Chains A and B, each alone.
Chain A
Amino acid sequence: MIGVRGAARRTELGLVVLAIIITASAYILASLGRTASLPANLVPFLLVIIGLIALAHIAVRRLAPGADSVLLPIAGLLNGVGYVFIARLDRDLAGLQAVWTAVGVAAFLATLAVVRRPRDLERYRYTFALVGVGLLLVPLLPGIGRTVNGARLWIRLGPLTFQPGEIAKIILAIFFASYLVEKRALLSRRSLPEGARSFLARLRYFGPILLAWGASLVVLVAERDLGSSLLFFGLFVTMLWVATGWAVYVALGAGMFTLGAAMSWSAFSHVKQRIDVWIDPWSRASTQGFQVLQAIFGMGTGGMAGTGLGLGDPTRIPAAATDLIFAAIGEELGLLGTTAIVAAFVTTVAVGLRIAMRARNDFEKLLAVGLTTILGLQAFIIIGGVTRLLPLTGITLPFVSYGGSSLVANYILLALLLRISDSSTRAAA
């Protein structure tokens, strides 16, 4: 087995080197395209990215030698490409993003070091539940809660702002996994009583989904964030269905979310505005529709091959470095670039679900499903929003967008997935 592990780590090293080469080339090209000169800080930049990703790679070698070999290089590549675009769009943010990347890698290391066995997490189930819900709702507290771009998702502690929802999504995935593993027999159709015994007896089956729905509505209404709301609810319904195998939950969840969104559409102007802009941004081209149209214009201008790194005009897209970074990539790297990003997420999802399939116990299986669903669903929601497949909502593109909380959370998520992967390899050995 040692041989196989060694091979996996060698593959990972090769892919990591490839990711570094791509990132460094992109960084140089972006600078050449923009100012026709080499980036001034090229050597420190190279040292930092090589150092950080090498550190992560060594950590995996030491702490999770049997883990999958593809996820870390992909995350590094997405992080690197994202950084290139952030640096190209906004120098100040780039410096912060570099710091956050370092913090993210540190969190990655810490997670691998602290969580030696995934089932350790199962023990603190209700603590996680409490912390998760708490984190989700803490931006609503007066004093520390902050509203940015209409969404109340941030907290401010001293000089630091943080989006606790990013961490909450992982903690809740852990809680859902442990809760559902325990209750899955109770919640599946096989245990549904014959005939309609009583409404209350039935309610037991639908209580959890109703509760999750209620929580997602709170996020939607109080924190004004359609994207996070969809992400949390989608995560729960997916995990509920995977745990119980009862497809009714999926249909019910879809229906409930549609109902909730429809109710909010008629009751809350910020939801209505999002939907209206999604359906017809053209008649609001210079007001609410401006953002999504600039994104669409950018991607259309990019076309098949893009304008070339540093040669486009993505600074016209509002929030290009954060939520709409995908549109900036589409403008300068074209369909080829956006397809590569989508392919990276598809690969991540495929690998994540493969880890779930190979996992040795139900908790690890379900947790891997949850963590993978978070990545896949979040990427889908924001890419769909930027391309007008869905209403545009303010969530980050994992690993790519600027955003400290998001980056740190996603590195923790990655570490957990690798931990599960390593754990099943060990169990097989």
Chain B
Amino acid sequence: MDRQIKTLAVGMMVLFTSVFLKLNQVQVVQANDLANDPRNSRVATRDFARPRGAIQTADGLVLAQSTPTDDQLKRLRQYPGGQLYAGITGYFSFTYGASGVERAYTDFLSGRKASTSLKGLGDVFNDKEQTGNVTLTIKNAVQQVAAQQLGNRRGAVVALDPTTGGILAMVNFPSFDPNPLAAHDQKAVQAAYKQLAADPAKPLLARAYGEIYAPGSTFKVVTTSAALERKPELATKTYPVLKQLDLPHTTSDLPNFGGSSCGGQLPQLLKVSCNTGFAQIGLDLGIDALKSEAQDFGFASAPPLDIPGAARSRFPDTTDWLRDDPRLAQSAIGQNDVVASPLQMALIASAIANKGVAMKPHVMGEIRDNEGDVVRRYLPSSWRKPVTPEVAAAVTQMMIGVVNGGTATGIAVPGVQVAAKTGTAQTTGKNAHAWIIGFAPADAPKIAVAVIVESQPGVSEATGGRVAAPIARAVIQAALGAP
């Protein structure tokens, strides 16, 4: 038996050696990944117990800050900005993790990256906690006006600086108050979250960048750009005055809103938002030209917003389309299955405004440490270049025409030339999403804006101009007037 006992000893050694090796794998090789895994709630506890920097607007309003408490979590995260800023700051919740800026810049806020600002050997031995304070590009002055103007209507407003991509205002309605989600009583937190998650109005969803809608006639800016970029002869083609366009391969027709008649050349078509004309342009362009143009503007990829959750805008799948498919005509006027986020539509306006270059959208302006020294500054960079500066200039001229006597007269600001395009995307029989995109001043743009108000009564091209334009106008005024 002694021989077997010796073998058994060896066998037991093999078993425990394999345990030891596995322990090394878990506690050394994978240790870092496991310690920082988002499902490891120890990370949240650790971050909760640490001091955490503040989040503030470009004009100095504090949106998130931590105050010491006596309980186990040690610090309470508070959001003085409440629901007005929830879609931007997000929340920092023990149970639900972090979202928005709280998530995107958590390493800076908690000081895990701000410590890169060690200035000398002395700081290594200085146990003072280094946290980062995030200053956003958002201006409270613009954000407040956008929210007041949208009021209690479901929808979203996005305003950004077309030359940098810095977001000036981003408003969602309905929204939510992040404070209850950051509270310490986790039962209450869960109750609050469940209530928000179950709300059919989807207040947790940041509509401005997280939801996609049919863009309606605002998409005609893309169709116009496609014509100028890819088939310049269409720019001088005169389209017949029609009440409705006879769609190929189908018995149905594509009518203008309210049974009106329209036609003419491209600037005139855009000015009155002529559906029959643009539907024909779509057919003249062909599938590839229109789809490629949409993709150049950012459809088919989510905008690289620096906070998580930006939705991907979509041009429909065209694999089974005929060359002159009726769906092509509908897509050219922003219907069929074309869907875009308000942020994407604002970026389209910003690309036209910024000589054909869409900058990467971002909410972070700069991050400073406790001494006020800059740890990181957002360096603007271009995202997409959908059109040439010449085409951008031509489209700008046409969008000026839309404001000066077209469908978007409601956006006109005295003393400033605005360029814009309205949209009305029919949802149900009598309701439509009211859209407008635009920028100002037209010759040296400082702000590009997109507004959507969901499910407004009235299905006519005037709906976008009537409902959305005044909101955009106020936002432009606030942005241009703000210091």
Known contacts A335-B24, A362-B1, A387-B22; A301/B40 CB under 8 A: yes
- Interchain CB contact (< 8 A) of B4 among A242, A293, A346, A380: A242
- B9 touching A353, Cβ below 8 Å: yes
The answer to whether A406 has its CB under 8 Å from any CB of chain B is no
- Interchain CB contact (< 8 A) of B27 among A285, A300, A366: A300
Mark contacts of B14-39 with chain A using CB atoms, 8 A cut-off: 1 yes-contact digit, 0 otherwise: 01101110111011101111110101
Residues of A within 8 A of B5 (CB): 242, 353, 356-357, 365, 369
How many Å from the CB of A252 to the closest CB on chain B?
16
The answer to whether A245 has its CB under 8 Å from any CB of chain B is yes
For the complex, what is the distance from the CA of A389 to the CA of B19, rounded to whole Å? Answer: 7
For the complex, what is the distance from the CA of A49 to the CA of B5, rounded to whole Å? Answer: 35
Residues of B within 8 A of A243 (CB): 1
The answer to whether A79 has its CB under 8 Å from any CB of chain B is no
Known contacts A299-B34, A380-B15; A245/B3 CB under 8 A: yes
Mark contacts of A361-390 with chain B using CB atoms, 8 A cut-off: 1 yes-contact digit, 0 otherwise: 010011001000100100010011001110
Closest to A353 in B: B9
The answer to whether B42 has its CB under 8 Å from any CB of chain A is yes
- Interchain CB contact (< 8 A) of A241 among B4, B15, B37: B4
The answer to whether B12 has its CB under 8 Å from any CB of chain A is yes
- Interchain CB contact (< 8 A) of B33 among A293, A300, A346: A300
The answer to whether B8 has its CB under 8 Å from any CB of chain A is yes
For the complex, what is the distance from the CA of A366 to the CA of B27, rounded to whole Å? Answer: 37
Considering only residues 328-371 of chain A, those with a C-beta below 8 Å from chain B are 330, 334-335, 338-339, 342, 345-346, 349-350, 353, 356-357, 362, 365-366, 369
Residues of B within 8 A of A366 (CB): 1
Known contacts A349-B9, A365-B1, A366-B1; A339/B23 CB under 8 A: yes
Known contacts A243-B1, A380-B15; A296/B34 CB under 8 A: yes
- B1 touching A300, Cβ below 8 Å: no
Residues of B within 8 A of A312 (CB): 42
The answer to whether B45 has its CB under 8 Å from any CB of chain A is yes
- Interchain CB contact (< 8 A) of A388 among B6, B8, B22, B24: B22
- A389 touching B18, Cβ below 8 Å: yes
The answer to whether A122 has its CB under 8 Å from any CB of chain B is no
Known contacts A300-B31, A304-B28, A353-B8; A330/B15 CB under 8 A: no
Residues of B within 8 A of A373 (CB): 8
How big is the A interface, by class?
A: 35 or more
Mark contacts of B369-402 with chain A using CB atoms, 8 A cut-off: 1 yes-contact digit, 0 otherwise: 0000000000000000000000000000000000
Closest to A184 in B: B1
- Interchain CB contact (< 8 A) of A299 among B9, B20, B27: B27
Interface residues of B, dominant DSSP: helix
How many Å from the CB of B236 to the closest CB on chain A?
59
Considering only residues 283-321 of chain A, those with a C-beta below 8 Å from chain B are 285-286, 293, 296-304, 312-313, 316
- B4 touching A335, Cβ below 8 Å: no
For the complex, what is the distance from the CA of A281 to the CA of B1, rounded to whole Å? Answer: 42
Interface centre among B2, B13, B16 (most CB of A within 10 A): B16
Closest to A243 in B: B1
The answer to whether B41 has its CB under 8 Å from any CB of chain A is yes
Residues of B within 8 A of A296 (CB): 26, 34
Residues of B within 8 A of A330 (CB): 23, 26-27
The answer to whether A31 has its CB under 8 Å from any CB of chain B is no
Residues of A within 8 A of B27 (CB): 299-300, 302-304, 330, 334-335, 338
The answer to whether A396 has its CB under 8 Å from any CB of chain B is no
Residues of A within 8 A of B18 (CB): 384, 389
The answer to whether A410 has its CB under 8 Å from any CB of chain B is no
Residues of A within 8 A of B9 (CB): 349-350, 353
- Interchain CB contact (< 8 A) of B16 among A297, A335, A342, A369: A342
Considering only residues 32-67 of chain B, those with a C-beta below 8 Å from chain A are 32-35, 37, 39-42, 45
For the complex, what is the distance from the CA of A339 to the CA of B42, rounded to whole Å? Answer: 23
Closest to A316 in B: B41
- B1 touching A339, Cβ below 8 Å: no
- Interchain CB contact (< 8 A) of B19 among A298, A304, A334, A342: A342
Closest to A345 in B: B16
Interface centre among A312, A342, A389 (most CB of B within 10 A): A389
Residues of B within 8 A of A365 (CB): 1, 5
Residues of A within 8 A of B35 (CB): 297, 300-301, 303
- Interchain CB contact (< 8 A) of A383 among B12, B19, B45: B19
- A304 touching B31, Cβ below 8 Å: yes
Closest to A376 in B: B12
For the complex, what is the distance from the CA of A413 to the CA of B13, rounded to whole Å? Answer: 21
For the complex, what is the distance from the CA of A243 to the CA of B31, rounded to whole Å? Answer: 43
- B23 touching A245, Cβ below 8 Å: no
The answer to whether A23 has its CB under 8 Å from any CB of chain B is no
For the complex, what is the distance from the CA of A349 to the CA of B9, rounded to whole Å? Answer: 8
Interface centre among B5, B12, B27, B41 (most CB of A within 10 A): B27
The answer to whether A238 has its CB under 8 Å from any CB of chain B is yes
Interface centre among B12, B22, B39 (most CB of A within 10 A): B12
Interface centre among A245, A300, A303 (most CB of B within 10 A): A300
Closest to B25 in A: A387
How many Å from the CB of B297 to the closest CB on chain A?
37
For the complex, what is the distance from the CA of A376 to the CA of B13, rounded to whole Å? Answer: 10
- B45 touching A297, Cβ below 8 Å: no
- Interchain CB contact (< 8 A) of A245 among B1, B37, B40, B41: B1
For the complex, what is the distance from the CA of A357 to the CA of B6, rounded to whole Å? Answer: 8
For the complex, what is the distance from the CA of A339 to the CA of B27, rounded to whole Å? Answer: 11
- A297 touching B2, Cβ below 8 Å: no
Known contacts A313-B42, A380-B16; A300/B30 CB under 8 A: yes
How many Å from the CB of A7 to the closest CB on chain B?
25
- B23 touching A387, Cβ below 8 Å: yes
For the complex, what is the distance from the CA of A366 to the CA of B1, rounded to whole Å? Answer: 8
For the complex, what is the distance from the CA of A335 to the CA of B24, rounded to whole Å? Answer: 7
Residues of B within 8 A of A339 (CB): 20, 23
Closest 8 CB pairs of A and B: A300-B34, A297-B40, A303-B31, A335-B27, A242-B4, A301-B35, A389-B22, A387-B22
4 new A-B contacts at CB < 8 Å, known A300-B26, A353-B9: A299-B27, A300-B27, A300-B35, A339-B20
Q: List 28 A-B contacts (CB under 8 A).
A: A242-B4, A293-B39, A297-B35, A298-B42, A299-B27, A300-B32, A300-B33, A300-B40, A301-B34, A301-B35, A302-B27, A303-B27, A303-B28, A303-B35, A304-B28, A313-B42, A316-B42, A335-B24, A335-B28, A349-B9, A353-B12, A357-B5, A366-B1, A376-B16, A380-B16, A383-B19, A384-B22, A387-B22
**Residue ranges of B at the interface with A (Cβ–Cβ < 8 Å):** 1-6, 8-9, 12-13, 15-16, 18-20, 22-24, 26-28, 30-35, 37, 39-42, 45
